[in-house]
Amino acid sequence: MCGIVGYIGEKQTVPILMEGLEKLEYRGYDSAGVAIYSQEDLVVKKFKGRLSVLADYLEENPLPGVLGIGHTRWATHGEPNDINAHPHTSYHGKIAVVHNGIVENYMKLKNWLKGKGIEFKSETDTEVIAQLIEYYYEGNLVEALQKAIQKMEGAYAIGVICKDQPDTLIGYRKDNPLVVGIGKGENFIASDIPALLKHTRDVYFLEDGEMAVLTRDHITILNDLGEEMNRDPFHVTWDIESAEKGGYQHFMLKEINEQPKAVRDTLFPRVDKENRIKLDELRLTGEELNQFNKIIIIACGTAMHAGLVGKYAIEKFARIPVEVEIASEFRYKDPFVDKKTLLIAVSQSGETADTLAALREAKGKGAHVLTVTNVVGSRISREAHDVFYTWAGPEIAVASTKAYITQIIALNLIGLYLAELKGTMTRAEVADKVAELKNLPDKIQAILDHQENIQAIANKQFNQQSVFFIGRGIDDYTSKEGSLKLKEISYIHSEAIAAGELKHGTIALLEKGTLVIALATQDQLYDKMLSNMKEVKARGAFVVAITKEKSREEVEESADVVLSIPDTDNVFTPVLAVVPLQLFAYYTAVARGADIDKPKNLAKSVTVE
């Protein structure tokens, strides 16, 4: 959940660390700090608050040095304050550590170390790591770290420097991401690639249990047995500008407007001119795919909402039962999984701790695992049997938008691919669906071209205390994502209700002026939704409806405001209908003065359970 960066080389370290931390601040931002080897000592500066607090201090108080580690924090152990901020040092100040993740047995280790006479300053599990390494340190930092990690339980990535070894920077990974950047006369570690792009495009992805020992001229990767590993570097092809705002006020707005391109990038490499689907990522034969008798989709948050939409599509196309499970609940219910189960794990970052744990649970029971993710080299992608990369590009804003839409595209493609293999749809029927998928980028753009209409509604409704989203069928799933987006970034209480359930409790909460956003995109459910809109209007609600262009006039009779989306296949409407909901959440949050890209208490990559 936190961001780590480290540098060893010939340049001044602080500017490099601060540039890297700025790229990682989406991972956490309640405190930040650096530890620099400066004038033969480890100097630590860390402060509660945004990275700018640390930046202002270091600008006024320069800290020279060519070795250092930095951290931006999302608190897990101990409240956000200067003391609990990273880096943490050991009792004699020999060791400095930055850490992303959780040491689950930290209290047991802390009490054991206290029994050895070691005093602690913070409430964090991270300080335990620094203290434990120094406890075992006898002049060899690698050996000390190897002994320390044998005692530690949990999922974590760490960066370590030592006062006695100013020519060494060490990174270690256990379940949480850590990337090693390869330079010339300098080397780097970081939690994510964007922190390194200004300096290098060649990286190593550490595997679980691997340690990277960096000097300015060399990188050694050791496995958990201490054996040196040979590894081919990965060359990053991202345009560095893709991680910048590109003139938009916020990353979220930029990423909403990038959705036509993201859909094209996900879709077009996998379909040909004859609208045939080519999923080269799937190594399974058609015969093997036909042996699955059910599919389970596991995910969290926004990805779970994409999973619900995917369930609808796969069941409709391939006529195979699909269950959608919240990953954090899946592993505790003794799930019925066997060799005839296809498990689809959906995660933007590919590092979501709960999804990873659920994946392992299902894999251990014999399921074949396919993951849908956006991040090449992520942990989930490595542990799955097959990987479907969405190619959405870097998504910086904490609230996911383009990753969500591309996950839906991926799941639709998988559903159509299975349908043709299983014979539930003909080749021509699949081709017709693919042809319409190809039209979606232009239809998304048509919505984006008139976003000022959505902004006008947000500017009138931003003072709402509660907002309700309603829909039926697949619209219910889209409404869940719209509700989540609004609460994530505007902090307005919002709730998504299946429209048929209104009379079973929720309608009691409606009063004059309450905002209800009603989705009515399903042809077979228009009449039902029109009745639901009239029901809430009769209780004084203000109704904003989202419907297809062809139904606009009919829906206008039952709503106060109608936003139309281009006509499309009923199954594909979530790709279009979510766009005005994303924009409404964005412009509402702007009107309320909220921090759009870094909403309070949230982080982009949830790497703790």
User: Catalytic site residue 604?
Assistant: yes
Beta strands in 348-492 (DSSP E): 368-373, 386-389, 466-471
Exposure string for 483-507, b = 16+ CB within 10 A, e = fewer: bbbbbbbbebebbbbbbbebeeebb
Q: Could you check whether the bond before residue 87 is cis, i.e. omega within 30 degrees of 0?
A: yes
Torsion sign across C-alpha atoms 53, 188, 145, 204? positive
DSSP-based three-state secondary structure for 406: helix
Beta strands in 83-197 (DSSP E): 88-89, 95-103, 154-162, 165-174, 179-182, 187-190
472 touches 529 (CB < 8 A): yes
- Find the catalytic residue in 23, 433, 485, 604: 604
Q: Return the ∠ at Cα 229 (arms to 223 and 230), rounded to 5°.
A: 160
Token code pair at residue 316: 């409709």
DSSP tag of 26? G
398 touches 604 (CB < 8 A): yes
C-alpha to C-alpha distance for 491 and 602, rounded to whole angstroms: 12
Cβ neighbors of 230 (< 8 A, separation 6 or more) are none
Q: Which residues pair with 327 in a beta bridge?
A: none
Gap between the terminal Cα atoms of the chain: 10
- Give the DSSP per-residue string, 275-324: --B--TT----HHHHHT--EEEEEE-HHHHHHHHHHHHHHHHHH---EEE
- Give the strand pairing for 493-498 and 466-471: parallel
318 touches 419 (CB < 8 A): yes
**Cα-based distances in Å from 193 to 21, 266, 558:** 11, 20, 49
C-alpha to C-alpha distance for 421 and 39, rounded to whole angstroms: 67
Token code pair at residue 111: 């009490």
Q: Which of 474, 487, 430 is nearest to 571 (CA)?
A: 474
Q: How many beta carbons lie within 10 A of that of residue 142, not counting itself?
A: 17
- Give the DSSP per-residue string, 377-402: T-HHHHHSSEEEE-------SSS-SH
Token code pair at residue 50: 């945004």
* Greatest extent of the chain over all pairs of C-alpha atoms, in Å: 79
C-alpha to C-alpha distance for 34 and 18, rounded to whole angstroms: 9
Token code pair at residue 182: 């390869």
29 touches 598 (CB < 8 A): yes
Token pair 């959780």: residue: 102
C-alpha to C-alpha distance for 555 and 325, rounded to whole angstroms: 34
Q: How many beta carbons lie within 10 A of that of residue 543, not counting itself?
A: 22
- Tell me which residues are annotated as active site: 2, 604
